[in-house]
């Protein structure tokens, strides 16, 4: 959906991996661009997200920030460390290293999925700006909130009497057990 939108919903402009990979233009995209895009997203999800990112960065002349580079670099390094642990675990035959490699691989996958989701959110926001979905101001400042302090009285929640919370009672309350309750 995001790639199609990045192409202004004109699938005749579609090229595999947005023209950034060696396979681009060699996958029969012109004959059936929808099938090629679905195949790209299903089989090469990371490349698909990255290609859409590159496409939008080129269109809007956006540079990757140092923070983005750091996050993406961390994602790649974590994946590489997980791969190295997996190889070493296979060579050594250690169950502990094998388990550690699986944990690292799981962490790398979670970081990867998170980074891809963040990139796609950035893509959507940039296209919303481009297409005028936001109007004149893309995002407003949220209203100011004030935290209460312990030395200031806290107003009762809406709909509660001014004496909320009720005054503290000892335990058990003086009216316990309730009148008429059988005692043993």
Residue 26 has pLDDT above 70, yes or no: yes
Residue 46 has pLDDT above 60, yes or no: yes
Measure the N-to-C terminal CA separation of the chain; round to a whole number of Å. 71
Question: In residues, how long is the chain?
Answer: 184
pLDDT tens readout for residues 60-110: 888 888 988 898 899 889 989 989 988 999 999 888 888 988 999 999 899
The token pair at 138 is 């893309």
Residue 175: predicted pLDDT: 63
User: By CB neighbour count within 10 A (0-12 exposed, 13-18 middle, 19+ buried), where does 131 fall?
Assistant: exposed
- Report helix, strand or coil for 159: coil
Q: Report d(CA 126, CA 131) in Å as an integer.
A: 9
């Amino acid at each position: 959906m995001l790639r199609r939108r990045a192409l202004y919903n004109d699938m005749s402009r579609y090229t595999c991996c947005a023209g950034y990979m060696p396979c681009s233009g060699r996958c029969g995209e012109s004959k059936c661009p929808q099938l090629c895009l679905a195949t790209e997203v299903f089989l090469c999800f990371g490349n698909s997200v990255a290609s859409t990112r590159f496409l939008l960065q080129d269109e809007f002349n956006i540079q990757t920030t140092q923070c983005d580079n750091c996050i993406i670099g961390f994602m790649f390094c974590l994946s590489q460390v997980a791969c190295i642990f997996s190889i070493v675990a296979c060579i050594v035959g250690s169950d502990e290293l094998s388990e550690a490699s699986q944990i690292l691989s799981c962490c790398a996958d979670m970081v990867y999925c998170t980074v891809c989701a963040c990139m796609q959110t950035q893509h959507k926001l940039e296209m919303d700006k481009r297409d005028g979905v936001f109007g004149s101001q893309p995002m407003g400042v949220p209203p100011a909130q004030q935290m209460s302090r312990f030395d200031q009285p806290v107003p009762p929640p809406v709909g509660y009497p001014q004496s909320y919370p009720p005054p503290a009672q000892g335990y058990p309350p003086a009216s316990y057990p309730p009148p008429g309750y059988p005692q043993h």
